[in-house]
Structure formats: C-alpha cells, structure tokens
Amino acid sequence: MDIATKLKIRNFKSPFSTFTREQDGYALAMTLVALPLVVGLSAFVIDGSRVANLHTDVQNAVDAMALAGARELDGEDDAIERAEAAISAMSGNEVWFGDNGNAMGMGSKTRITYTTADGAQSDVTVTFLGAIPDSDDTPIGDGACDASSANESNCEVKGNSAAQRSNNAAFVQVTAVPRALRTIFRIPGIGNDTVSVSAEAVATYSAVVCDVTPIFICNPYESYNGNWMANGMSFAKNFGQGNLYGRQINLSYGKNGKAGPGNFGFLRVNGNGANDLAEALATGSGSCHRKTGLDTKPGANVGPVTTGLNTRFGFYSGSFSASNQSYAPDINVRSGNSQGYNESRGRNSRCNPGCSSYDPESNWSYYDALAFPDGDSTYYIGGGTIAASSDWDIETYWDITHGDYSYAPKKKKYNAPPLAVSIPKSFPGLPAGTTPSRFDVYNYEIDNDLVGDAAPNGETGHSLCVGPSVIPQPKRREIFIAVINCKEHANDLKGAGTDIPAEAFAKAFLTKPAIGWGNYREISMEIIDVAGSEGIGTADTNFREEAELVR
C-alpha cells in the first residue's frame, strides 16, 4: 500500500465518531439533562421556604405567648389566671401562608390568638406544668406535672382549687394548633398538596434579687399547729390584702432550736466568718439570690445580729466605728434608749448615753422614753409573736415622745394630733380609722421636723454616738429580706441549706434595735412592702423578674 492510500485511511472518520467528538451545542444538551433536577429543586426551594416562613412565624408567636404567660407564674394564688390573661393579650402575632389561600400566592395574614373562654376558638393550646423532665430529649408528657389539672399524680402539690394549681405552676407550654399550608407543587412520592405546620414553646418564671440583707424570716402564715395564721393565702397575698399593715412581728433566733414560724435565720454571704455576716448586716450589701434557690448559713455565731444591724440605730461595738460613713445611722433612730444616770430618779447607771449596746428604758421606767410598742394584742407563733391587728398604743408613744409627759401616767397630757387622720398611710385602700403603722409615724416625724423632740429622759431621734464627720442616712432602718416556708423546708434548714425556694421577698422596717443575751437574739419589724405583683412598688428596686424559654 502506497503512502497516499495510508494517509487517506488514517484521516477517515466515521459519522458516529464525528458526532461523539462534536462540541457545538454542548450546553444545550447538559441543560436538557439537568432540567428535571433544576425544576424539582426549584419547587422544593419555593415550597420549602414557604413552609419555613410559616413555621418561623408560628414559632415566634408561641414563643411570645409562652414568655408572656411565664412572666406571671410567681407562685401567687392567681398566677394561672394572670398568665392566661397575658397570653390572651398577645393577639398581634401575624403569620403568612397559613390560611389555605391560593397556592400560587402568599395568602392573607392571619393572627395567632388564644381565647380563655373558649379553647375551641383558640389557635393554641395552653398547659401549665409544675415540673418537666430534666433532659430535653425526654418528651414533655413523660413525667411532667400538669398543674392545669386537679389532683395530677405527677405534681407534688395537689388540689382542686385554682389557688393550689397556681401555687404549683412553674412552667407554661404553648402549642400551636396545626396550620395547613397549600404547596405550589405536589410532593413527589406522596402526592399531598398541603403541609401541616405547628410549633411549641415551654417557658418558666425566674426571679433574681440583689443586695438582700442576709436575713430570712419564717413565713408566719405557714401553718403552726393549727394556728389562726394559716389562712390559706401566701405571704405576698396577705400583704396585698392589707393583713400585714401595722403589725409588728417579733422574731427570735435560738429560742426553740429549730426554724419555724416566729424564727429568723441567715442567708449565705461572700465570706464565711462572723465578721463577713456582720458587715453585710450593717451595710446591706448582700449577695444576689434566685427566688428558687436560696443558700442559708448556720447561725452558730449570732453576735452579728446585734453588732451589725444595730449600727443602723447608732450603736457601735466590735469592729464597727462611729466615724465610718459606711456605718452611718438612720436619720431617725428613736428607740426608747436609756440616756444614762439621772440623779432625780436615783438610778445608778452610766453618765452618758450608751453607744455600744441598746439599753431600753423599759428596763427602768416605761415613761422616760418609749420605743414603738407591740400591738394591743399579739399571737404566739412558735419562736415569736405577731400583732393580731394594726392597733397599738400610738397615743402613749406620741405623748411620751412629743408631748408634755411627766414620769407618772396620771399626769400625761395628750398633745398628739388626730393621728388616724393626719398621718398619711403608706398602704392604699385601708379602712377609715385604721391606726397608722409605726413606719408611717416614723416617716411623719421626719417629714414634720419632729425628730429632735425630746422624751422625758432627753432622748431624741438624733444619734448622739456618731462621729462628727458622719452624715446620718435615710432608710437605714429598712432592710430587704427573704421569706421562707420553714416548716416545709425544715430538713433543708438544718445547717447550711442550698437551693431553698423563697416564699417571697419583702421590705421590712426595723421598729427597734435587735436585742439578745447568750445565744438568743430577737428582732422586731413591720413588713412595709413585698416584691412582685402584690406589692406597692417600693420593693422592686433590687428585684428582677424574668421569663425564659426552656424548650
């Protein structure tokens, strides 16, 4: 074969070979091959985004409702009622795509609403829970406490009443009723042209307080051997009803050896020694605490009660200095304190007012000077007493403190104004003729320049023991304390307790200095406000309530 023939054979290309090697029209061919995948993916993206948007809108709505409801779950008797009202008020949450409108459009906006009167008309279901499983992997229904139902077996607190269920409700679960979204494309392999979309949220209530004076008192309204104080209402509700106005409470430590109604104890502070506790009692710079988890401190060293708290009245002992502004006394420290030796009465006492400890005049002569007296009648509550009503001997106090009162009762002259009318009351809505509280009288003395009035023994409301550079401060006799159901948590309060729930947080007015002998200590106070919905607002400064999503 000659060379020309060989070249012809080598350059010959069959039609098939030419076709397979042709590159013109390559993009069109690949497009035709990929077109079904592109169309399917586009359909998925379009409908998937519509489903995602609907779910986002619904999730946002139930999140908002759950947070609004949980914010009211403070353990008070009407917590569920207030929570349902808050959820019902969240009617402005709108969603797209969820009204079964035209599949090619967005449809009209619809609202997610909750109606307490008719659950069938609601777009969500609401369940109040006393507890939920610890693990997020465990469904809510397994082991949860349904506080919405009476006598729920998984609840620690059972009962038919709305108050009992409200006391037990710690979580709120909001579940959206499934909404149908009409898809633009049928789902391959299934053929459905609608997708059901729902969402769920669980939220709980959380409260944190800071700068709490490291004292807790035992709830006097917790049952004590069938005592009348167990009236079925919480401590805060009793305040909201006016049942604590003007009632002096005397509380003890070390009298009966255990915590119960009528006792007080200590909260843990930064530091472990008695000096750390005394410092916190004197300054009020306590730690921050969660309402659901208080840490208590053993009170083996009870000395700080008098040395720390009584700096607020201008008594200085131990490491506390009368020249330190941090320990300034209140601007009205009148407490019926002895003023020392008085030759006309033949008393053998100090020549100067005692500045290191409280020496009440009642130990010598009731009519020389008078601290705020107890109530006209009191009830024993285990470790202490509480006044049966707001009535107390205001006339005698006023006449000794501000009148022309000689040492014999028969010579007293009433110079007091019509107190029940002229002294403003700090608690609203009290019946006419209610005796003003000691706290209101104390403020009346300040506001009307009566702090300098002298009792027969010469005592005024000004501290005589403070250093010249120290300026007395207002509200030093006010402390912010925790209230605990001590009978319920008696075992937890033995020694150092942890994670003990607070029944309430309250602002208290120290009616007189702390007293004590041996290991016994006694403090006296009036409750002037409580933090939260039942209070009058003055106790909320250091109190922060929050709701948080937990699922």
pLDDT tens by residue, 338-367 = 876 444 444 444 444 568 888 887 655 667
167 plus 315 within the same structural domain: no
In DSSP notation, 1-64 reads --HHHHHHHHT---HHHHHHH--TTHHHHHHHHHHHHHHHHHHHHHHHHHHHHHHHHHHHHHHH
Q: Please enumerate in sequence order all residues whose Cβ is within 8 A of that of 92, keeping only pairs 6 or more positions apart, or say none.
A: 111
307 plus 338 within the same structural domain: yes
Give the number of domains in the chain. 2
Q: Is residue 371 part of a domain?
A: yes
pLDDT in tens, 41-68: 666 666 677 777 888 888 898 899 999 9
Alpha carbon distance 246, 248 (integer Å): 6
Which of 206, 241, 264 is the last residue in one of the domains? 206
101 plus 138 within the same structural domain: yes
Q: Which domain holds residue 514?
A: 210-549
- Mean of per-residue pLDDT scores for the chain: 77
Q: List residues bridging with 264 in a β-sheet.
A: 217
pLDDT in tens, 65-96: 999 988 888 877 788 888 989 898 887 777 76
Q: Is residue 99 part of a domain?
A: yes
Helix (H, G, I), strand (E, B) or coil at 414: coil
pLDDT in tens, 497-518: 777 888 889 999 999 999 887 7
pLDDT of residue 348: 40
pLDDT greater at residue 437 or residue 205: 437
227 plus 247 within the same structural domain: yes
Torsion from C-alpha of 385, 389, 390, 396, nearest 10 degrees: -80
Alpha carbon distance 464, 329 (integer Å): 10
Q: Is residue 378 part of a domain?
A: yes
281 plus 150 within the same structural domain: no
Alpha carbon distance 475, 418 (integer Å): 26
> Are β-strands 478-484 and 215-218 bridged in parallel, bridged antiparallel, or unpaired?
parallel
Q: Is residue 268 part of a domain?
A: yes
255 plus 134 within the same structural domain: no
Which residue is listed with tokens 């403090």? 523
Which of 206, 240, 267 is the last residue in one of the domains? 206
Distances (CA, A) of 487 to 259, 302, 382, 493, 503: 7, 22, 11, 9, 12
The top-scoring range by mean pLDDT among 110-114, 129-133, 181-185, 242-246 is 242-246
190 plus 216 within the same structural domain: no
Q: Is residue 28 part of a domain?
A: no
Helix (H, G, I), strand (E, B) or coil at 431: coil
Please name the amino acid found at residue 102.
N
Please name the amino acid found at residue 2.
D
Q: List residues bridging with 530 in a β-sheet.
A: 506
Q: Is residue 342 part of a domain?
A: yes
197 plus 232 within the same structural domain: no
Take residue 14 and report the two structure tokens written for it: 């069959």
Alpha carbon distance 260, 224 (integer Å): 8
Please name the amino acid found at residue 231.
N
Q: Is residue 192 part of a domain?
A: yes
224 plus 166 within the same structural domain: no
pLDDT in tens, 33-48: 666 666 656 666 666 7
Which of 206, 240, 274 is the last residue in one of the domains? 206
271 plus 302 within the same structural domain: yes
Please name the amino acid found at residue 255.
K
147 plus 216 within the same structural domain: no
Q: Is residue 343 part of a domain?
A: yes
226 plus 163 within the same structural domain: no
Percent of the chain whose pLDDT exceeds 90: 17
pLDDT of residue 186: 63
